[in-house]
Amino acid sequence: MNSELTQTEVVAQELKRSDLKSDPLYPFYIQLREIFPKGLKPGTNNPWRDHPSIIKDRFKLLKKHFGYEIDQEEVLEATKNMLNLLQETMISCEL
């Protein structure tokens, strides 16, 4: 598999990025992303933070499949609570 992008793929990515920044929920995607720690999840090569376009796509799927409308404050608070619980669990496992 060739890892280099064609010129068409590069242009398509740039268009997607510009569309993303014009999305009214773009600040929310950034805010949600910033809640997660920097770096990789322990024992994996998976980053904690996703690109805002991935976050947007996941919320689109959520709405499409379940009809869920985003309550930004609820999502931000639930994410913070989940990460706090995960951190407490990881700390207690280390003890």
pLDDT tens-digit readout, 39-85: 998 889 999 999 998 999 898 898 888 888 889 999 999 999 999 99
For residue 59, give its domain range: 25-94
13 falls within a domain: no
* DSSP string across the chain: ---SPPHHHHHHHHHHHHHHHHSTTHHHHHHHHHHSPSSBPTTSS-BSSPPHHHHHHHHHHHHHHH-PPP-HHHHHHHHHHHHHHHHHHHHHHH-
- Number of domains present in the structure of the chain: 1
73 falls within a domain: yes
17 falls within a domain: no
Please indicate, yes or no, whether the overall pTM of this predicted structure exceeds 0.75: no
20 falls within a domain: no
10 falls within a domain: no
37 falls within a domain: yes
